[in-house]
Structure 1
Amino acid sequence: MNRNDEYLKSPDLLPISHNQRNIGVKGFAVIWVGMAVVLAAFAIGGAGVQSLPLGWVIVATLVGSVAIGIFMTIIGDIGVEHGLSFPVYMRAPFGTIGTHIPSLVRGITAACWFGINTYFGATAMNGILNLLFGFDNWFLCFLLFAAVQLINTALGIKAIERFADLAAPTIIIISAWMYTSLSDKAMEQGRAVWSWVENPVTGVAAITAFMVVVMSNMGFWATLAADMPSLSRFFKAPKNERNWFKRNKSQIVGSIIVMPIVNTFMIIIGAVSYIAVTNYDPVVALQEAAGGFVLGILLLMIVFAQWSTNTSANVIPAATVFSNVGGPKVPFWAGVIIAGIVGIIVQPWSLFDVIIPALLVIGGILSAIVGILFTDYYVLRKRRVNVQDLYEKDGQFKYMNGFNIAGMIAWVIGGFAAYWLSAYSFIVGFVVGAIIYYVLAKYWWFKKYTQAEIEDPNDEKYLGITVGRDWEIETVQESIVVQDAVNQ
């Protein structure tokens, strides 16, 4: 076995076997509570009530949340069925080298979210220090908070994660309290929470405003719609289960039920914050609603909640991507530093001000990837995958110098289409990416580079948990040991 193949077979990229899967229905539901408590979601609610009543913002949020949850579950079957992560399966529609380009987009997006969440945590820290000592320098707090999180992640310190398990449910309680306090504040100013709109729109403009809220919610979670296999490969699922719904039960409950509920709750608080104080920045709204010791405790919980979310949902995925793209020369800790640098230089305090158009663009770019994944996995390969070759440098996924040009073209066109029709970005990107990839791959690319699982659609050879298989990939080190034993 060629040592040059080693970068394709790093331990964190190998398939997860059935006995390594330890996340069930309840476990994933709890994970979603933690992940969906993201204060940046306040912006969607605050922006929504500038054009629509709160009731319609909630409906649009539920539609978008459930829709993106369905996409997550559909793509997540890749992890459940084969135990494969996002960057590994992406070698099929993009090539062994080409996979790095969309993976980098996912990594950079995660790094940007790291910056935004760090900004919220930093302003909360600044608020605490201002209460206690009269200190007021949020940027210094930002740099300090970023450094602490990155060091924590690079060293793998788990203490903060255990403490922060309490932070997410605490933030939900805080949000419920904020809703009551801010609703009263809005009423004092003559603003009815459920009917007040800053600049009401009607007709076509109202439909567009509604769809912007839908697409913003989809764009908000678009990274996970593409990257869900990296998490779903750890989900418990019964062997030899051919029923798709039973096999993906953990995903369905978490992504289609729990996430929309928690996400909608966060959107509501953002909307009420804007109605009450014309500002959807959660820290500003909280400072308007509380004071003294209570405010200090609430701000501290915000710090820990952002810390917890950043570690698991942003820094680790971004660092993993950067480390995988860089190969053996870029260890995980270096990936963490790169993620931190990207999260800082994008100036997240400015990103938050343009978060809605940013979400539409990000959602469109990533939705084309989701559409390509859907076509490649379900339509062309029929869920059968030649997993062994995904880890071979010169296997069927090498294509042309490591690139699947069909996937690249479909992604570019799908992304541009979503950009030009931004009010419908996710749907446009998904449909255009999926259709173009199907045509190019089926009638052109896979004629040039034949795919074993398409030429020979055999379940026993190319399905995973559905036929009770755990994929085993021989690593370079194992090959050396076997060869030494033979030589002796």
Structure 2
Amino acid sequence: MIAVGLGFKASIAAIVVGQLFISIPMTLHGYIGAKLHIPFPVLARSSFGFYFSYFAIVSRVILACFWFGIQTTTGGNCVREMIKAIWPSFASFPNHLPASSGATSQSMLCYFIYWSIQFPFLLVHPSKIRYLFILKSILTPICGISLMAWAFHRTGGGPIFSNPPTLSGSAAAWQWLTGLNSVLGQWSTLAINIGDFTRYARGPREQYVQPFVIPLAFTFIAFMGISVTSASKIIYGEYYWDPLQIIALWGNSPGERAARFWCAFSFTLATLGTNIAANSISAGNDFNALLPRYLNIRRGSILCSIIGGWVLVPWYILANATRFLGFAGGYTVFLAPIAGVMSSDFYLVKRRKVSVPAMYRPTSIYSYWHGINWRALVAMLVGCIPCFPGFLHNIEPSIGGKSVTYMFSISWLYGYFITAAVYWTLSTLFPDTRSLLDAMIYDDDDTIPDHESIEGVGSDGSPEKRDESTPKAAEAGF
């Protein structure tokens, strides 16, 4: 945001507001996952219908594979900086690949090393590698704070905050909304499938802190990033939003090499944890829902690593395919309405009273009309169509004029809240009485009051009791 003309304060304000908004669906959907212990693909069936839910699932799995590859490319770059810190001569590693490949022999070697290190972690259940996530949660913030301290030391601190904005008036206002939309879009995928992770929680109470923790934690991370990016302009003469680009500019003195290795190692852990938690597990759940007879969550994660890591050639995408990056960046046009339907359906329409067993059957109360909930379809169209021209413009700037970017600048806010309102209105005027229950149904032979806890449900729909140390229900199907 600073690079396109917004000031430091305006950028931070956009991030704070964005995190406050995104914490709403994250908390709402995180509660559902922790309460029912079901993943996003299963929950989507109750909102969209058994077959229409595949649209939401496919939308999510495409991005999961895409971002898996992008994160793996970033991890390969981290490995490159670590090797250069140990052996500076690696910077002159000979290249035998053509420029059209979008990669060099050096970058491909580092990419393969990182992918090979990452792959075994996909075979292990997340609960068994919790110490990796603990280490990541300790080292990465320390690294970020250290980089911020370095930025303040090199610049004296003051110039970072006094960098004047280059935009004013309506141009600044629309750019601020665009920045807000990018913050919301960054977390849109997690907002709809956070249940893939909260299903491992012991209960829903852990979700109540998210509206407070998410804005504080994410804003602090963004503050560090904006500080370092602003400092790069003062130190190097241009903005570097990627910290790896900054540490690559450091010298080869023993202290600088040690600092480069430390930062690159911390970022390697960060990308590894992100790919395992946010991408491979999500894709594994989605592939499991699409092909349950052949793929469990582990096999789905492996498939994601192959598709995202190699089939999509992510290094080429980053080097050349700006249109595809525009497509991925603007995909919030579809994700925000999906989140709006899910929130409205569970809390406003069904009032937290759903049947878990019915979500696993093609012909059940959630089959609606031939497996399609037409209310969700209409609401999705209302939420998507006005912003779609801006989405196309984001991919190909020659499509449409500047006017289409205005609606796209508020696509998440419009898509989430308007879709939720339209869905609730249609469900109120034309209710599907079969799916409106008086109590939550956990098992075919058991109906429990809404206030009681649910022990869990396996990926095949069978109830399983949870062990107090590890939620076995969430582990089923992995």
Taking structure 2 as the reference length, the TM-score comes to 0.76
Please name the residue that 1:424 is paired with.
410
Which position in structure 2 is the counterpart of 1:129? 83
2:272 alignment partner, one of 303, 307, 317:
307
**Conserved in 1, the CA contact under 8 Å of 2:44 and 2:53?**
yes
The residue type equivalent to 2:362 in the other structure is: K
Letter in 2 for 1:292: R
Contact map agreement 2:27 2:208 (CA 8 A) in 1: no
Corresponding residue for residue 269 of structure 1: 228
1:48 corresponds to which residue? 2
C-alpha deviation, 1:124, in angstroms: 1.6
Q: In 1, distance between residues paired with 2:23 and 2:328?
A: 16
2:108, 2:370 → 1: CA distance?
45
**Alignment gaps of 5+ in structure 2:** 94-105, 391-406, 464-478
Which secondary structure does the structure 1 equivalent of 2:278 belong to?
helix
Contact 1:418–1:426 (8 Å) recurs in 2: no
CA distance in 2, matches of 1:474, 1:225: 23
Q: Distance in 1 between matches of 2:323 and 2:146?
A: 28
Q: Which of 201, 217, 228 is equivalent to 2:194?
A: 228
Letter in 2 for 1:383: R
Distance 1:211 1:284, change over 3 A: same
Change (3 A) 1:475 1:307: closer
Aligned partners of 1:157 and 1:384: how far apart in 2?
30
AA paired with 1:203? Answer: G
| Change in CA separation of 1:48 and 1:109 when aligned onto 2, cut-off 3 Å | farther
Query: In the alignment, is residue 99 of structure 1 matched against residue 65 of structure 2?
Result: no
Residues 1:264 and 1:474: Cα distance change in structure 2 (over 3 Å):
closer
Aligned counterpart, 2:305: 340
- One-letter amino acid of the structure 2 residue matched with residue 392 of structure 1: R
Aligned pair partner of 1:391 in 348, 360, 378: 360
Q: Distance in 1 between matches of 2:429 and 2:136?
A: 52
Q: More displaced, 133-142 or 303-312?
A: 133-142
**Which digits, 9 at most, give the CA deviation of each residue in 1:245-282, with x for residues without a partner?**
x7842434443443443444344434444554422121
Matched, 1:433 2:402: no
Q: Secondary structure at the match of 1:329?
A: coil
1:375 maps to what in 2?
344
Task: Tell me whether 1:318 sits opposite 2:272 in the alignment.
Answer: no
331-340 or 341-350: bigger deviation = 341-350
Residue of structure 2 in register with 1:286 after alignment? 247
Worse-superposed segment, 85-94 or 151-160? 151-160
Asked if the contact 1:72/1:224 (under 8 Å) is kept, the reply is yes
Residue from 374, 387, 410 that aligns with 1:405: 374
C-alpha displacement at 1:194, in angstroms?
A: 1.1
Q: Which residue of 1 aligns with 2:136?
A: 167
Instruction: Give the CA RMSD over aligned residues.
Output: 3.4
Q: Deviations over 1:400-446 (max 9, x none)?
A: 332223323432442333343221121011133223323444444x4
1:451 aligns to what SS in structure 2?
helix
What secondary structure is seen at the aligned counterpart in 1 of 2:272? helix
SS at 1:383 equivalent: coil
1:460 is displaced (CA, Å) by 8.9
Moved more, 207-216 or 323-332: 323-332
Q: Which amino acid aligns with 1:284?
A: Q
1:125 deviates by 1.0
Q: Which residue of structure 1 aligns with residue 185 of structure 2?
A: 219
Q: Which residue of 1 aligns with 2:454?
A: 470
Rounded Cα–Cα distance in structure 2 between residues aligned with 1:83 and 1:475: 9
Q: Which residue of 2 aligns with 1:85?
A: 39
In the other structure, the counterpart of 2:469 is none
State the match for 2:208 in structure 1.
Answer: 249
- Structure number with higher helix proportion: 1
Alpha carbons 1:383, 1:463 under 8 Å: kept: no
The alpha-carbon deviation at position 284 of structure 1 amounts to 1.1
**Hey, what does 2:159 align to over in structure 1?**
192
Distance 1:58 1:429 in 2: 23
The CA deviation at 1:64 is: 0.6
* Counterpart-to-counterpart distance in 2, 1:145 and 1:321: 24
Aligned to 1:258: 217
Q: 1:474 to 1:324 in 2, by over 3 A?
A: closer
Equivalent of residue 108 in structure 1, options 47, 62, 69: 62
Aligned residue type for 2:434: Q
Residue from 145, 150, 168 that aligns with 2:119: 150
Structure 1, residues 217-239: CA drift from partner, whole Å, max 9, x if none?
1111111211122333344458x
1:27-68 Cα deviation digits (max 9, x unpaired):
xxxxxxxxxxxxxxxxxxxx4343111121111111111211
Residue pair 2:76, 2:110 contacting (<8 A) in 1 also: yes
Aligned counterpart, 2:17: 63
- From 175, 182, 185, the equivalent of 1:209 is 175
Give structure 1 stretches of 5+ with no counterpart.
Answer: 1-46, 239-245, 480-488
Q: Which of the residues 261, 266, 275 maps onto 1:296?
A: 261
Q: How many residues align?
A: 418
Change (3 A) 1:309 1:472: closer
TM-superposed CA distance for 1:357, in Å, is 5.1
Q: Distance in 2 between matches of 1:259 and 1:154?
A: 29
Mean Cα deviation higher: 212-221 or 410-419: 410-419
TM-score (norm 1): 0.75
SS of the residue 2:162 aligns to: coil
The alpha carbon displacement at 1:346 in A equals 5.7
Of 434, 441, 462, 1:451 maps to 434
Once the two structures are TM-superposed, the CA of residue 367 in structure 1 deviates from its matched residue by 0.7
The 2-side partners of 1:227 and 1:393 are apart by: 21
Answer with 427-436 or 177-186: which moved more.
Answer: 177-186
- In structure 2, how many angstroms separate the alpha carbons of the residues matched to 1:355 and 1:192? 36
User: Matches of 2:82 and 2:293 in 1, distance apart?
Assistant: 42
Structure with bigger RCO (C-alpha 8 Å, 6+ apart): 1
